[in-house]
Structure 1
Amino acid sequence: MPAPPRWRRGWFGSSTTSRAMTPWSSAAAHTPKSVSPGNPSPTAWSVSPVKWLATERRVELAVFALGLVLRLAWVGVIQYRGGALFGPDAASYDALALSVLEGKGLCKWDYQGLFTDPNHAILVYSFRPPLLPLLLAGLYGALGHSYAVARVFMALLSAATCVVVLGAARGLFGRRAGAVAGILAAIYPGFIYYSGAIVTETPYVFLLCLAVSVLLTAQRSENTLWRWPLAGALLGLATLCRSALLAFVAPVAIWVFLTRPSKRWAAWEAALVIAGFCTPMGAWWGRNYAIHQKLVAATTEGGYTLWVTNNERADGGGHCFWPDDGASFDGLSEAEIDRRFYRMGMAYIRTHPGHFLELAAAKFVRFWRLWPHASEPSVGLLPAAIAGVTFTPVLLLAAVGAFVERRRWRDLSLLYLLIAYYTALHMVFMAITRYRLPIEPFLIILASRGLGRLWRRER
């Protein structure tokens, strides 16, 4: 077994170790040099594994309960106001779920505005990722077509995400930081808001947090060969929920290879992550090839998203429109339309590098702005104000946490890698503050460390 980690000092932990303290280790092994209000007595930690685990489970249950109560209250408000869906994305996923229940599969009419005939549309089979429609179809099939039921399910997933955030922060920074991160996630308005929306944000964030948590645990543990394919499979499921994660598995594999102590085993561990990722994705790839006779790695929406944010009419925002030469798309299949849009977007980037860089800078600002545009779909003035008031301190505290733990950058490198990946991705594709939501749990994890440092300085 590896040597037990050193004593973790302070209410929120310190930067002296990358491993969480083993609760059932001997008190002598973790005795601090002095006892203070911020440095508890060693006898406080001399507990049996059963008692320690019971305490941890109570904290997790409390965080889950807090998150669930707030989310169910929000669902109640939505249902009281009529329970309408939030925006066209929710309507699209709902329609796909109903199509599955009707035996038609994952298909819907789309591209209505593209062709010369304004009433023309084609059946699309891979325009949206499949996981959320399949989940909704299962719920609707078992409990009936009810938006309230779907929202309660989202509330449960979102509350569970708070517990995952707690566990990840606890593994990095200690028990108190974990509890703070869980509470912050439970009360964070952005997570509460999207728990009432029947869109991909909530299940995607849950799967992504779970995947990152497993990777972090595997990184600092021994004899955890099974965790690598599990993490890869979770990344694959997350990609089937939100295709933006498709390219992230390659950086993760490189990260595994670079951060693991044994390079001989690291190569196998990285391969296990990729194999785990390909397991759920393989079913989607095979299904798409059978339909389109072409490889569709994610969805057929990616080409349009690339073009609509990189052309002479683009301004770096999230406005959607169709090309003027719609007649050139007549007769093309779904996969051919997607590839034509990809070619158009890449051609514009190659021929207009200056404008592309201007758009990338504008997208960076939009992605990291402190509050969303009130004019964005499903936002409004009050939600925009609440988002700004709550995201700003999280971002500042995350910066403090990253600075405090700057010597542990290797231990936190996966979080930084994910944040950088998302930022770069949305500097090329569409960027709105909603698309930043998946990395906000990891900002909260860093913020819990920053808050702990400020708390100790005040004391």
Structure 2
Amino acid sequence: MEKNIILKFIKSQKASLIIFFIAFFIRVVFALIKNSPLSGDELFYETTALNIMSGYGYSIGGHLTARIPPGYSIFLSFVYYIFGHHFIAIRIVQAIIDALMCVVIYRIARKLFNEKVGILAGILCAVHYFFLKAVQLIRPDTLQMFFIVISVLYWIRWKGKFFKKDAILLGLFSSIAVMLKANIVIMPFIFILTEFFNIIKNKKAKISIFFKSAIIIILVFSLPIIPWAVRNYKVYHAFVPLATDSGTALYSSYNPPEGKKFGIIPDDVVMRDAKKIKSEVERSRYLTSKTKEYVLNNKKKVMSLLLYKTLFFWSILDWETLGDGKGVYNFSSAFILSLSILGLIILRKRIKHFVAIVIPIVYMFLLALIFQGLPRFRMPIEPFLIIFAAFSISYLLHKFSKKIVTFLLLVWFFINFTIFLYTPYVYKTCRIIMKNLQIW
């Protein structure tokens, strides 16, 4: 009896299991070959995780902190507690979570399009080099991407029907994503507002059912955030719902070194003065105030920064996740982005049907314009871009000769891969072109 149940489950979940195991085995290989020392933000997460394990709380340098939400540090401390202090354990757990993300993308694509597009999207996620390299890093990017993607899945399930179970899971997964990185805190409310406008427009559901379900989402979403905010109030005697690094992030995004190097904290007079302020809250307020002052007094420069933020956000040269400080051509993203743009063009007249995966893309891009545009900040939306890329491939295979389309896709992939192999020359060429255009 049990054997029959297992066989039925395997048969019904065949595509999901195949995608998961392909994704997992590739990621395990990448998890095992990473040996370089921690750097940058990785050191912060590592230190705070060890402090949590040692009973010092979420702290750094002997002081409690709220610089960024504690979700990833708690995750690290939990994995260390179970498996010991081994980076390989972190990377393997991240490999499992990222493989599950590929399955979730398969299900979203299948729901929005069809089985064929779903399988293509899942496989593309499974082999996407950007995701494979991210698994190696001790950073929250991989985890947050999973929770953003699964939140979108439950938004799709929740919309129109407003079942309590879907509302609870949407609120829960969105909250976990925010506790990993605060940047998507507004996204769940955008989901709710989108459905509210749909109800007003279409009048297909009772407004009372929607509001009850929306309240459930907000309550569940708030559950982890409220105790964290209370803790911060006790520490700082100020309202800090999520993090105290917003001032630093804002100031750095409008005053990048050399006017264009995002992701690096400037070493100017304002930042040096800020470092003298002991309170994280007061430091953030000071930098936020200085940012507002700068924006109001330098409107032309601020507008020119939008171009740089756009270029950095959509850059196919990566110097963080792939490059360790050196620019590396992201051949996988270049391949995906071109196909996703084609998919968006083909679907332009029906784009409202795919709002669930368009909104996260638009949201993260607008956020990059306000804060900093870096390639790794694009990573949470690449699963959704992959869905559009998968649709493009399916569309081309259906409309034209399969042999010709397959050949052209392979040619396009190998062109990008060849550019990746000759990255140093490409990097120099891009810099020369951008300098001649007076962009760099």
**How high is the TM-score relative to the length of structure 1?**
0.80
Partner of 1:411: 353
Alpha-carbon distance, 1:312 to partner: 7.9
Aligned counterparts of 1:54 and 1:408: Cα–Cα separation in 2: 35
Structure 1 unaligned segments of length 5 or more: list them: 1-48, 110-121
Partner of 1:368: 314
Q: 1:294 to 1:187 in 2, by over 3 A?
A: same
Amino acid at match of 2:44: S
Partner of 1:58: 14
SS at match of 1:410: helix
SS at match of 1:69: helix
Partner of 1:279: 223
More displaced 10-residue stretch of structure 1: 327-336 or 353-362: 327-336
Alpha-carbon distance, 1:408 to partner: 3.3
Amino acid at match of 1:96: T
Q: 1:331 to 1:402 in 2, by over 3 A?
A: closer
Q: Do residues 229 (structure 1) and 179 (structure 2) align?
A: no
Q: Do residues 294 (structure 1) and 241 (structure 2) align?
A: no
More displaced 10-residue stretch of structure 1: 339-348 or 365-374: 365-374
Alpha-carbon distance, 1:286 to partner: 1.6
Alignment of 1:269-418 (within 5 A): 269-311=213-255, 314-315=259-260, 317-325=262-270, 326-327=272-273, 330-373=276-319, 378=324, 380-381=326-327, 384-385=328-329, 387=330, 389-418=331-360
Partner of 1:4: none
Aligned counterparts of 1:227 and 1:239: Cα–Cα separation in 2: 18
Aligned counterparts of 1:443 and 1:217: Cα–Cα separation in 2: 20
Amino acid at match of 1:211: S
Alignment of 1:205-284 (within 5 A): 205-219=145-159, 222=161, 224-260=163-199, 261-262=204-205, 264=207, 265-284=209-228
Alpha-carbon distance, 1:380 to partner: 3.4
Aligned counterparts of 2:176 and 2:282: Cα–Cα separation in 1: 26
Q: Do residues 201 (structure 1) and 144 (structure 2) align?
A: no
Alignment of 1:89-100 (within 5 A): 89-100=41-52
Aligned counterparts of 2:54 and 2:376: Cα–Cα separation in 1: 31
Alpha-carbon distance, 1:407 to partner: 3.9
1:69-106 superposed Cα distances (whole Å, 9 cap, x missing partner): 1111111211xxxx234421111111111000110001
Partner of 1:142: 82
Amino acid at match of 2:21: A
Alpha-carbon distance, 1:213 to partner: 0.7
**How many residue pairs align between the two structures?**
390
Alpha-carbon distance, 1:330 to partner: 3.3
Aligned counterparts of 1:421 and 1:413: Cα–Cα separation in 2: 12
Partner of 1:74: 30
Are the aligned partners of 1:363 and 1:431 in contact in 2 as well (CA < 8 Å)?
Answer: yes
Aligned counterparts of 1:333 and 1:322: Cα–Cα separation in 2: 19
Alpha-carbon distance, 1:53 to partner: 6.2
Q: Do residues 103 (structure 1) and 103 (structure 2) align?
A: no
Amino acid at match of 2:383: P
Alpha-carbon distance, 1:327 to partner: 4.3
Q: Do residues 185 (structure 1) and 125 (structure 2) align?
A: yes
Of Structure 1 and Structure 2, the greater helix share is in: 2
1:270-307 superposed Cα distances (whole Å, 9 cap, x missing partner): 33332222122222212211211111122111110100
Alpha-carbon distance, 1:346 to partner: 1.6
Are the aligned partners of 1:316 and 1:359 in contact in 2 as well (CA < 8 Å)?
Answer: no
Aligned counterparts of 2:322 and 2:21: Cα–Cα separation in 1: 31
1:310-362 superposed Cα distances (whole Å, 9 cap, x missing partner): 13854262222233153465354111111111111122112211111111221
1:413-434 superposed Cα distances (whole Å, 9 cap, x missing partner): 1222111111111112121101
Q: 1:272 to 1:403 in 2, by over 3 A?
A: farther
SS at match of 2:224: helix
1:149-193 superposed Cα distances (whole Å, 9 cap, x missing partner): 111111111111111111111111111111111100000001100
Amino acid at match of 1:366: F
Q: 1:377 to 1:130 in 2, by over 3 A?
A: farther
Structure 2 unaligned segments of length 5 or more: list them: 402-440
1:235-270 superposed Cα distances (whole Å, 9 cap, x missing partner): 111010011112223322211212343261333333
Alpha-carbon distance, 1:219 to partner: 2.0
More displaced 10-residue stretch of structure 1: 296-305 or 225-234: 225-234
